[in-house]
Structure 1
Amino acid sequence: MPYESWESSPSALSGLAQYAVELWHEHRIPIILTAFFSLVLLRVYLHWTEQKQELLVFPKIYSEPAPQRQAAAKVEPTSENAAVKVEKGGGTQSEKTSRKLATNGPRRIKGELTKKTRAAGANEARKIQVLVFYSSITANTERIAREFARALEVALGCAGSEQKSDSSFLAPRVLDLSEADYDEYLITPPKMESDGAPVDLFYLFLLPSYNIDTINDNLLEHMKETHHDFRIDTSPLSSIIGYSVFGFGDREGWPTEDEGFCFQAKEVDRWMAKLTGRKRAYPLGMGDWKRDGSARLSEWQVGLTEVLKLVESTGSLGEGVEGSGDPIESDDEGDAYDDGEVVFDDNAPEAKTKSSGSIEDVEDMGRIMEMSQADGSVEQTKAPIAIDFTTQGKTKPRKTAIITVKEMVPQSSPTYASLTKQGYSIVGSHSGVKICRWTKSALRGRGSCYKYSFYGINSHQCMETTPSLSCSNKCVFCWRHGTNPVGTTWRWVVDPPQLIFDGVKENHYKKIKMMRGVPGVRAERFAEAMRIRHCALSLVGEPIFYPHINEFLGMLHAERISSFLVCNAQHPDELAALKHVTQLYVSIDASNRESLRRIDRPLHRDFWERFQRCLEILRERRFRQRTVFRLTLVKGFNVEDEAEGYADLVEKGLPCFVEVKGVTYCGTSTSSNAGLTMANVPFYQEVCDFVVALNASLERRGLKYGIAAEHAHSCCILIASERFNVDGKWHTLIDYEKFFQLLESKGPDGDFSPEDYMGAATPEWATWGQGGFDPRDQRVDRKGRPIETN
């Protein structure tokens, strides 16, 4: 039909429109799909044909040969500027137009980041310092760390070594985390120089993982606080070259990573990623120190050496996989709850109370006011309701976090297995009891503890226990071989004192009953042993650390059980809050700061200040409680030329008694790893000489002390204040009946002095020069044969 006919025929036009509509309804789905896929293909084509932006890498911080620097300075033509060459101060009209048009849109910048210029020759002299951090309880990791550092020095050919005198690497430095200053290394990297040129740092960590509180926990806590401290940059260590972590674990206790294998090393690796701005140079290494630890560490060292040599040659860690630095790809390094175990409960009820609910917008405000007026739950107020109009959008509902506090010594932990293997009975989750060897000896009539000679304690009626297996020191002479937990603050489940009291008594009696069939046990002493009369709170750990120590002491005293409490002078606040005990000990293992650090290996960084404060507290209490300084002499550590230093401490604390005892060697490999061997055990005559020198020093200062008693069998000597010398005789024994009478009449905070419950005169056989062995008993050698004494 001609065009004019269509135009002049309305019916024809309407028929055409109807036909088009019917055609659309019949084929609309293929039409839509065809258009959609056409657009998709067009978008893909444009995407792949577009010029890709070059990836930027870490700026090189080391020098390159002069020709390479000159080549890098030249501008390479790209597809966008290859057709136009611009010279300074000139150009054709088309060139000027191109430059003018280029400024109308966003500019694309290509090439390397601008580098800070240094003085001539500074780059060539720049060095790399590898810092090897380690933590250790038994000193195994210290040995491994030093061997690793020596092997790494050879592999890198460090400057000054025979392999390569012109190397960029300085000899690796090994640092103990228990001695290193966190503020110096983990907040702001230390500024080091070598021959006047700056030194770049590379951090390595060799960390065993423990399920007890150690320096690792302090390290992780410091890292977390540093990262979240608003005064400090979230990545304060971003100036270092890089870092890497290797962890040691025990697959017997933690078979898999999910069950805790090397879990603390993984945490350190995660926090270092935050603090350094994701400068992980080499993946986390892990090895079982009992099985394949050495082999895994060697493999890790080979890969690490390659990375360090790459840093030396290129000045950077190289390019990572695209997107590897994105938070989504690194969500394992996101923030998480770190205090205890966290369990999220999705079924927890939402907080919908009208009084505490948040107002999201104006409409919600009106709705809530109407509901409140309807049920009368909200009273009319004269003051206007405060509304925050700055809120943008609605906040997402938060999951309820249920914090689960962990146990100090879970039954499934290697610590539990190790302590029970050593003969301890674990009570609850953090207490323990064990029979002392002197209890077994007294039951068989083979001698009693020095406490019997000094204070009249029947060893077979004494229970040795502790309400806290955790300690804040890692003493080189500890009998527990570093297996007990250590920590600076209480962060575990707290068992009630009644549970502990009942549990330690039950387990003590069980162990006494097991002695019934032992040859030589005396029937009368066995019967007496079934009634506990004394409690030595000195088994392991720090008894004063237990939050309810005063309640526990009250239970002992209620059953007329005397209390001999030993603390390590690291918890002055708890010591100041302590109520009456029968006798209060403070371990004085060194006379100066450096010696105390070497022997006790404390976790507290202000250990010396805490130590001094505890001495002041004992001085204040010397007329209210029997106070004792306990000196453990370790040859090669605190014996030589330290008598004067100990005299200074005695002058400051003025204790009632000073016990001087030679260290007992436990004969294990862990002791030797801590620097303790049989050569460190003083002979009894050496202990006597030290006591004589100490007593002479006290006399020169005008302090009224004297040598009161001795127990040669346990290499122990007692120096006492003249307050306990009556009519020329020493009265170091305790009147226990009188002590409980005073406690009942005056209360646990009562005002009574040590002289009020001073006992009878010290037996003649226990005084200085008489040996101190109980004449009722018979000394025997290791094979049980009687020892003849003259």
Structure 2
Amino acid sequence: MPTAAATPTAAVTTTTSAAHITILAILTATTAYCFYKSRSLRRLKHSSNPNLTTTPQKGKIIFISETNTSKTLAQRLHNKLITNNLSFDLIDATNYEPEDLHKETLVLYVVSTWQDGNPPANGVFLSNWLNESAEDFRVGSSLLKDCKFAVFGVGSRVYGDKFNEVGKRFSREMRALGAVEILPFFEGDVDEGELDKVFSVWSEDVIRVLKSGEFSGNPSDLLEGNNSVYDYDDDDYEDDDEDDEVQSDIVDLEDIAGKAPSKKDMGVISSNGKKNGVKEMVTPVIRASLTKQGYKIIGSHSGVKICRWTKSQLRGRGGCYKHSFYGIESHRCMEATPSLACANKCVFCWRHHTNPVGKSWQWKMDDPLMIVNSALEQHKKMIKQMKGVPGVTSERLAEGLSPRHCALSLVGEPIMYPEINTLVDELHQRRISTFLVTNAQFPEKIASLKPITQLYVSVDAGTKDSMKAIDRPLFGDFWERFVDSLKALKDKQQRTVYRLTLVKGWNAEDVDAYSSLFAIGNPDFVEIKGVTYCGTSATSKLTMENVPWHADVKAFSEALAEKSNGEYEVACEHAHSCCILLAKVDKFKINGLLHTWIDYEKFHDLVASGKSFGSNEYMAVTPSWAVYGANEGGFDPDQARYKKERNHKTSR
């Protein structure tokens, strides 16, 4: 009986095992089919795009870009390759099907890293595909064995270990899939003023490799049988913790081809100025760039520059909007900053991001007295150069040599300087008034700031999303910092201003959003100015199409005043500067007369008294020619307005 009972049990066991094997086979086949199907569906999804090529033949330049920096660089490379008789297609990553990579013979990537080490929106799909494929054992390490490639990364070192993270990943993952890297990973920093130069070096290296006799200039023959032209480890792509703090002194651009030298190899001086353990803000590259733009660099982190309006009023040809709105004599105004660094990388920055950036003070600090004395000395030297220029009288020249006002804006974020209060005291003791502009990312600094003649906060957008796109802030909590800065502004007793810079296509339609911010900071004034076009570079993509006309600025200002329900009115204009001023009616309109001008002597007396005082105690009547709607359009009739004629003669 036992023997007879065992027989059906064995049969059941055998049948069950066979069933398990069958089910396992079905599941395996299903998994493989789903994997294939999902990729096929992705492919089908993208194949409807007419720009895609199903049988790639030319080399490809693929760019991943958020603000068009990488796109512009890729276009430049494309043009350079064409002039060298090298045939390539220029492709936006959005329009590329990653499944075609195994067909490629040569791919050049120009890749930006966006916030938190992530790719811009147009590169997410490609980035994810590379990552998934590189980590999927079913794909294998020879998928891209016939593909040669090179990667140029675009990023900012202020993001620490996330600097050029996307480009580094592309390099690693392409190699993991068997692709051959023809040049080491190149990386450019948008904030150190060397991006264009480094990219040019990389472009020339690419052309040199492609046209070298070894490869006969034929991408399909490139580096056959070799894994790379260079021998390097994956460690070369990892950020050394110490590298965030220092790089080499005046780095040979050829050396930047790989990674920047580490601190261990460099000694005590670096290109970002670290000397004996303390960084200097102005690197040799930054110094050269700013000097070329006309800045006089003071010490290790400050600067001064003469304004074109200073020259204009010296010649009796009119002052800037500050003269029309507030009574500042432009030829007696000094533009300076104690900090060339900033915490934003605004799309409309007319310095093209040649200044350093940072979220906190991390540099050597110069003495405030030295900064003030040196700024005045350099400013006077520049004023003296106007001697003998047509229209400059000896009287106005003498006045120019004795500045009575300091605009603390220029470039960078002056409020970052730890001794800003002491520096302001030094200016006020010389009876030099102060206008200070902050980008609203340091609310605690605003709260602790001593009385300023007029304190500005840049309000570049009315919503969180638009501010993120326009200001490109370094802080993750930038919006909270911005709101807290407006709240801190509300508590200041001296004159306060919202400064709005209108950029067509970016923020020139956000009337309601801007209006909603009035109650938070309750500013005395609102300045609305059209953006100034100062050329296009790899880090600035604005064109003349983004510049509003004065009529556009006027229409926006009138709409904004109307939204305030009588709290603000359009007070002044300066047509030449494309600038409008809104004033708080209950404080600055008395007996029907606007009082936007400033009694500067009264202000200095109030500061010297050491007592608390408010903005209504040092205001003055606005002259009729500066009031909005006046025939003069904000131009001082005591000045002689010159206009260039076609024959280049001047007429009055």
Structure 1 residues 741, 408: CA separation in 2 closer, same or farther (over 3 Å shift)? same
In 2: Cα distance, 1:297 partner to 1:135 partner: 25
1:657 Cα deviation from its structure 2 partner: 0.2
Could you tell me which residue of structure 2 aligns to residue 215 of structure 1? 156
Q: 1:452 to 1:627 in 2, by over 3 A?
A: same
Partner of residue 782 from structure 1, selected from 626, 644, 647: 644
Separation in structure 2 between the aligned mates of residue 502 and residue 772 of structure 1, nearest angstrom:
33
- Matched residue, 1:454: 325
Is 1:409 aligned to residue 287 of structure 2? no
- Looking at structure 1, the residues matched to 237 and 319 of structure 2 have their Cα atoms a distance apart, in angstroms, of 62
CA distance in 2, matches of 1:449, 1:325: 57
2:370 paired with 1:499: yes
Closer, same or farther: CA 497–165 of 1 in aligned 2, 3 Å: closer
Pair 1:562–1:184, CA change in 2 (3 A): same
Q: CA deviation at 1:773?
A: 0.9
Deviations 1:2-47 (A, max 9, x none): xxxxxxxxxxxxxxxxxxxxxxxxxxxxxxxxxxxxxxxxxxxxxx
Corresponding residue of 1:724: 588
> CA distance change for structure 1 residues 121 and 648 in 2, over 3 Å: closer, same or farther?
same
**Counterparts of 1:295 and 1:165, CA distance in 2:** 22
Between the aligned partners of 2:234 and 2:506, the Cα distance in structure 1 is 52
The CA distance in 2 between the partners of 1:325 and 1:502, in whole Å, is 51
Match of 2:186 among 237, 247, 255: 247
Does the 8 A contact of 1:707 with 1:768 survive in 2?
yes
| Aligned equivalent of 1:755 | 616
Counterpart CA distance in 2 for 1:326 and 1:402 is 30
Bigger mean CA offset, 214-223 vs 458-467 = 214-223
Q: In 2, are the aligned partners of 1:448 and 1:459 still within 8 Å (CA)? A: yes
Q: Does 1:339 align with 2:245?
A: yes
Question: 1:710 maps to which residue?
Answer: 573
Question: Which residue among 497, 503, 506 is the counterpart of 1:634?
Answer: 503
When residues 334 and 490 of structure 1 are mapped into structure 2, their CA distance, relative to the original with a 3 A threshold, is closer
SS at match of 2:597: coil
Q: Deviations over 1:70-110 (max 9, x none)?
A: xxxxxxxxxxxxxxxxxxxxxxxxxxxxxxxxxxxxxxxxx
Deviation at 1:587, TM superposition (A): 1.1
| 1:315-714 equivalent positions in 2, closer than 5 A | 338-340=244-246, 404-410=277-283, 413-621=284-492, 624-639=493-508, 641-666=509-534, 668-670=535-537, 674-699=540-565, 704-714=567-577
Correspondences of 1:19-30 after superposition (within 5 Å): none
| Structure 1 residue 630: Cα displacement | 0.8
The CA deviation at 1:332 is 10
Alignment of 1:40-439 (within 5 A): 119-121=31-33, 124=36, 140-145=69-74, 151=89, 159=97, 176-177=112-113, 179-182=114-117, 199-200=133-134, 206-207=152-153, 215-220=156-161, 246-247=185-186, 288-289=200-201, 292=204, 295=207, 338-340=244-246, 404-410=277-283, 413-439=284-310
Q: Do 1:779 and 1:786's aligned partners in 2 also have CA atoms closer than 8 Å?
A: no
Unaligned runs of 5+ in 2: 1-27, 44-59, 79-87, 136-143, 166-171, 248-262, 268-273
Q: Is the 8 A contact 2:501 2:528 kept in 1?
A: yes
Alpha-carbon RMSD across the aligned residues, in angstroms, is: 4.9
SS of the aligned residue for 1:120 comes to helix
Of the structure 1 ranges 593-602 and 197-206, higher mean CA displacement relative to structure 2 is found in 197-206
Alignment check: 8 A CA contact 1:565 1:581 kept: yes
More helix by percentage: 2
Amino acid paired to 1:692? E
CA distances 1:357-401 after superposition (whole Å, capped 9, x unpaired): xxxxxxxxxxxxxxxxxxxxxxxxxxxxxxxxxxxxxxxxxxxx9
In the alignment, the residues of structure 2 paired with residue 751 and residue 459 of structure 1 have an alpha-carbon distance, to the nearest angstrom, of 29
Instruction: Say which SS state the counterpart of residue 404 (structure 1) adopts.
Output: coil
Aligned CA distance change for structure 1 residues 562 and 246 (closer, same or farther; 3 Å): same
Question: What is the CA-CA distance between 1:651 and the residue it aligns to?
Answer: 2.6
Mark the CA change 1:174 to 1:420 in structure 2 (over 3 Å): closer, same or farther.
Answer: closer
Distance 1:135 1:498, change over 3 A: farther
Structure 1 pair 118/566, CA: closer, same or farther in 2 (3 Å)?
farther
Q: Is the contact between residue 110 and residue 153 of structure 2 (CA under 8 Å) also seen in structure 1? A: no
Amino acid at match of 1:663: V
SS of alignment partner, residue 751 of structure 1: coil
1:591–1:646 contact (8 Å) kept in structure 2: yes
- Equivalent-residue separation in structure 2 for 1:511 and 1:326 (angstroms): 52
Structure 1, residues 318-339: CA drift from partner, whole Å, max 9, x if none?
9999x98799xx8998775643
Aligned to 1:764: 624
| Cα distance, 1:685 vs structure 2 | 1.3
Contact 2:570 2:582 in 1 (8 A): yes
The corresponding residue for 2:605 is 741
Name the CA distance, whole Å, in 1 between partners of 2:266 and 2:70. Answer: 40
**Matched AA of 1:181:** D
Amino acid at match of 2:245: D
The amino acid of 1:648's aligned partner reads: S
SS of the residue 2:33 aligns to = coil
Contact 2:98 2:126 (8 Å CA) reproduced: no
SS in structure 1 opposite 2:555?
Answer: helix
Q: How has the CA–CA distance of structure 1 residues 490 and 126 changed in structure 2, closer, same or farther, with 3 Å as cutoff?
A: farther
Query: How far has the Cα of 1:414 moved from its partner?
Result: 2.7
- How far 1:509 moved relative to its partner? 0.3
Separation in 1 of the partners of 2:533 and 2:575? 16
Give 1:686's aligned amino acid: D
- After TM superposition, give the deviation of residue 532 of structure 1 in Å: 1.3
Structure 2 contact 603–618 (Cα < 8 Å) conserved: yes
What is the deviation of 1:644?
Answer: 1.2
2 CA distance for matches of 1:428 and 1:753? 35
Distance 1:741 1:125, change over 3 A: same
- TM-score normalized by the length of structure 1: 0.59
Q: Give the length in aligned residue pairs.
A: 541
Where 2:357 maps in the other structure, the secondary structure is coil
Q: 1:605 to 1:299 in 2, by over 3 A?
A: farther
Amino acid at match of 2:554: C
Pair 714,785 (structure 1): closer, same or farther in 2 beyond 3 Å: farther
- The alignment-based identity, stated in percent, is 42
State whether residues 469 and 484 of structure 1, in contact with CA within 8 Å, keep that contact through their aligned partners in structure 2. yes
The 5 Å alignment of 1:27-42 reads none
CA–CA distance in structure 2, aligned partners of residues 174 and 331 of structure 1: 16
Aligned mates of 2:223, 2:115 — CA distance in 1 = 24
Distance 2:457 2:98 in 1: 49
Residue identity in the other structure for 1:207: G
Assess, with a 3 A threshold, how the Cα gap between structure 1 residues 765 and 541 changes in structure 2: closer, same or farther. Answer: same
With over 3 angstroms needed to count, the CA separation of the structure-2 counterparts of 1:530 and 1:483, relative to structure 1, is same
State the distance in 1 between where 2:431 and 2:642 align.
Answer: 33
CA deviation map 1:546-601 (0-9, x unaligned): 12111111110111110100111122232222221110011112222232233323
Letter of the 1:490 partner, please give it: W
Deviations 1:645-687 (A, max 9, x none): 1111123221000011112222x2328x633112222111111
Verify the 8 A CA contact 1:159 1:166 in the aligned structure 2.
Answer: no
Structure 1 gaps, min length 5: 1-115, 209-213, 225-235, 255-260, 266-285, 311-316, 347-400
Alpha-carbon contact 2:527-2:581 (below 8 Å) kept: yes
Change (3 A) 1:136 1:424: farther
Determine helix, strand or coil for the equivalent of 1:292: helix
